[in-house]
Structure 1
Amino acid sequence: MRGLIVFACLIVAAFAADKYNSKYDNFDVETLISNDRLLKAYVNCFLDKGRCTPEGSDFKKTLPEAVETTCGKCTEKQKNNIRKVIKAIQQKHPKQWDELVKKNDPTGKHRDDFDKFIQGSS
C-alpha cells in the first residue's frame, strides 16, 4: 500500500512539472491593465528598456518559451491572465507590442498560433 501511495505521488509530481509554477496564478492582472504607468513599466521590463520587478523578471524569463509552445505549460488561470495582459498591451501600446513580438518570435514562426491563442481559439 505504501508503495502505491509513493508511486501515485510521483505521478502527480511528474504531471505538475509540465506546468509553470502556480505562484503567480493570483497575480492582480486587473490592477496591472488598468494602471497604464504600471503596464508600461512591465512592457519596458520585457523589452529590456526598464527595471523589472521580481514578478516582471519571472514573467520575462518564461515569455520566449510561452510564445514558442503557445503557453503549453500554462494553467488555465495563467492563460486567461496572459490573454488579458496581452490584449491590453496590444490596445494601449501597439508599437511596443510589435517590439515584443519581434523580440520573442524574431522569425514570426509562432505568430499565427500565438495570435489564435490570444483570441481564445487555442
Structure 2
Amino acid sequence: MKAAPGVIVVLLVAVCSVTQAGESKYTTKYDNVDLDEILRNTRLYDRYIKCLTNKDDCSPDGKELRDILPDALKTKCAKCSEKQKSGAEKVLKFIYEKKRTDFDELEKIYDPKGTYRKEYEVILKKAH
C-alpha cells in the first residue's frame, strides 16, 4: 500500500494551524475551523490542494502551511495540539479514501522517498 500520512498533517496545518515565532507549538487560533465543511466544499478543498501542489497561489495560511509542513512531517506533528492531531487524522483518511489522486500527488511532493509512510501507517489502516 502506497501511503504518505503526512498529507493529512499538511492539509490540517494549512487549514487549522499556523506557527507563531518563538512558540514550541503551532497556534491553536484555527482549531475551531469546521474541517467537514472544507472537505465537503469542493472550491475550498481544491484551493488548498492547488496551493500545496504549487499549482496556484496560496492564501496566507496555505503559504504558512507549506513553510511548516516539512517540520510537521519530521516531528510527527509534535507541535500539534490534540485537536489538530485528531483533525489531521480526519483529513488524512478523507484524502486517502475519497481523493486518492490528490493523496498520491501530495505524497510525491512531501514524501517522495516514503520516509513518513510507516510512521503513519496505523492511521491509514484505520481508513479501511
Normalized against structure 1, the TM-score is what? 0.73
CA shift, 1:88, in A, is 1.9
Contact 1:42 1:52 in 2 (8 A): yes
CA shift, 1:117, in A, is 4.5
CA shift, 1:119, in A, is 5.7
* Equivalence for 2:93: 87
2:76 is the counterpart of 1:100: no
Contact 2:95 2:103 in 1 (8 A): yes
* Equivalence for 1:115: 121
CA offsets, 1:62-115, max 9 Å, x none? 222212221111100111111222222222321121111121122111211123
CA offsets, 1:28-65, max 9 Å, x none? 21210111222122111101012222222222222222
Where in structure 1 are there 5+ consecutive unaligned residues? Answer: 1-15
Where in structure 2 are there 5+ consecutive unaligned residues? Answer: 1-21
CA RMSD of aligned residues (A): 2.1
Contact 2:96 2:124 in 1 (8 A): no
Q: Could you tell me the percent identity over the aligned residues?
A: 38
Matched residue type, 1:109: T
* Equivalence for 1:4: none
| Higher RCO, 1 vs 2 (CA within 8 Å, ≥6 residues apart) | 2
Contact 1:25 1:78 in 2 (8 A): yes
* Equivalence for 1:40: 46
Normalized against structure 2, the TM-score is what? 0.70
* Equivalence for 1:5: none
Q: Which has the higher helix share?
A: 1
The 1:20/1:107 distance shift into structure 2, 3 A limit, reads: same
The 1:52/1:119 distance shift into structure 2, 3 A limit, reads: farther
The 1:118/1:62 distance shift into structure 2, 3 A limit, reads: farther
